[in-house]
């Protein structure tokens, strides 16, 4: 294993220190417990958005703290849920009279710890549980995982909260975005968790893993490596069967790199996926391509489609100023 680090045990702390220095105009780092908050002041009674999860998915979630998105993020250790005291501290630091909206990816540890924290805060709260990964069936014992669609929820609901939407309506909007979003990932090579020192699973040079998670989990099927057109078609068909978009429907297409895939390849995937849905009469009117919800150094990508209505498009287009997503500010 070759990685830029001094000590595995201090890697996250040192990384966060660098992140805070690089983006001191947007965020502030708090320690003991670790929380990242936005620097810009918010209006009284604005709904507060708090999210978080294991590190290793950067820029999710810390990179999306700022005006128009999250008010605070709680980073856990690599692929490990943050602790309830981080979430409680985040609420104490940023809640401003409008209540708290937790945005939680559907993983057992995240769900459990956010639930514990919610029982220990005094202000009103709601929770959006993101479960956009269609590689798992809806009947899966723990439900579907939250993956790259989490960013879409955070951006749209973040804009709504910034504009003064109340807690109940932000919750309704976030649930709608989640229901209109579907994702699936594929890996050509797995990631290496620093503490483990080796890939979490192995693939031969002529193999790929379909339906991977973002924590180095295997997918639902190991296949022979195929041309990009066939890979995209298989993923797009699964998403299409889940969302069932109608002809003329507007949509956002997000191609997400899992950490070690060049933009040259990600844009190829975007072109193929856009062609797939455009040939079905779907209007791809919004796009996002790049590394946004990663899995350390995994070679792979995910495809996310979000069906849009006018409200969702307005919120997607609204100004945002974070370390990793900036528009109109």
Rg of the chain in Å (alpha carbons)? 19
What Cα–Cα distance (Å) separates residue 178 from each residue in 12, 50, 137? Answer: 29, 16, 16
**Catalytic residue, candidates 23, 30, 32, 57:** 57
**Catalytic residue, candidates 23, 30, 61, 215:** 215
Answer whether 183's CB lies under 8 Å from 149's CB: yes
Give the residue among 310, 220, 228, 217 at the shortest CA–CA distance from 265.
228
Q: How far apart are CA 218 and CA 84, in angstroms?
A: 28
Answer whether 159's CB lies under 8 Å from 177's CB: no
C-beta contacts of 316-319 below 8 A and 24+ residues apart: 316/152, 316/155, 316/156, 316/159, 316/252, 316/286, 317/286, 318/68, 318/159, 318/162, 318/163, 319/67, 319/68, 319/159
Q: How far apart are CA 294 and CA 147, in angstroms?
A: 9
Residue carrying the six token digits 């790199």: 257
Token pair of 222 as six digits: 């190991």
Residue carrying the six token digits 């680090």: 5
Answer whether 299's CB lies under 8 Å from 260's CB: yes
What Cα–Cα distance (Å) separates residue 14 from each residue in 11, 17, 86, 163? Answer: 5, 5, 18, 35
Residues 6+ apart with CB under 8 A from 243: 180, 182, 305, 307
Name the percent of the chain in helix, strand, coil, to the closest 5.
35, 30, 40
Per the annotation, the verdict on 215 as an active-site residue is yes
Positions annotated as catalytic residues are 57, 215
């Amino acid at each position: 294993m070759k990685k830029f680090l001094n000590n595995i045990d201090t890697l996250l702390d040192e990384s966060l220190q660098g992140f805070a220095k690089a983006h001191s105009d947007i965020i502030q780092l708090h320690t003991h417990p670790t929380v990242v908050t936005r620097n810009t002041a918010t209006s009284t009674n604005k709904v507060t958005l708090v999210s978080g999860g294991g590190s290793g998915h950067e820029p999710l979630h810390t990179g999306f703290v700022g005006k128009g998105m999250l008010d605070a993020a709680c980073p856990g250790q690599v692929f490990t849920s943050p602790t309830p005291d981080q979430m409680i501290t985040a609420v104490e630091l940023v809640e401003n009279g409008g209540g708290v909206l937790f945005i939680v990816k559907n993983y057992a540890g995240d769900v459990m710890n956010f639930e514990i924290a919610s029982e220990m805060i005094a202000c009103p709260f709601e929770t959006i549980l993101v479960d956009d990964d269609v590689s798992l069936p809806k009947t899966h014992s723990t439900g579907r995982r939250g993956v790259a669609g989490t960013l879409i929820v955070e951006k749209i609901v973040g804009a709504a909260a910034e504009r003064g939407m109340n807690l109940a309506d932000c919750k309704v909007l976030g649930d709608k975005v989640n229901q209109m979003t579907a994702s699936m990932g594929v890996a050509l090579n797995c990631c290496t968790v620093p503490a483990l020192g080796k890939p979490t699973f192995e693939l031969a040079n002529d193999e790929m893993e379909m339906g991977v998670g973002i924590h180095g989990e295997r997918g639902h099927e190991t296949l022979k490596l195929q041309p990009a057109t066939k890979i995209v078609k298989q993923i797009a068909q699964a998403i299409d069967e889940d969302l069932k978009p109608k002809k003329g429907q507007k949509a956002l297409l997000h191609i997400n790199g899992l950490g070690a895939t060049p933009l040259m390849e990600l844009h190829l995937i975007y072109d193929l996926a856009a062609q797939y849905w455009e040939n079905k009469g779907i209007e791809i009117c919004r796009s996002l391509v790049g590394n946004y919800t990663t899995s350390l150094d995994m070679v792979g990508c995910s495809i996310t489609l979000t069906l849009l209505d006018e409200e969702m498009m307005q919120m997607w287009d609204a100004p945002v100023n974070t370390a990793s997503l900036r528009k109109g500010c």
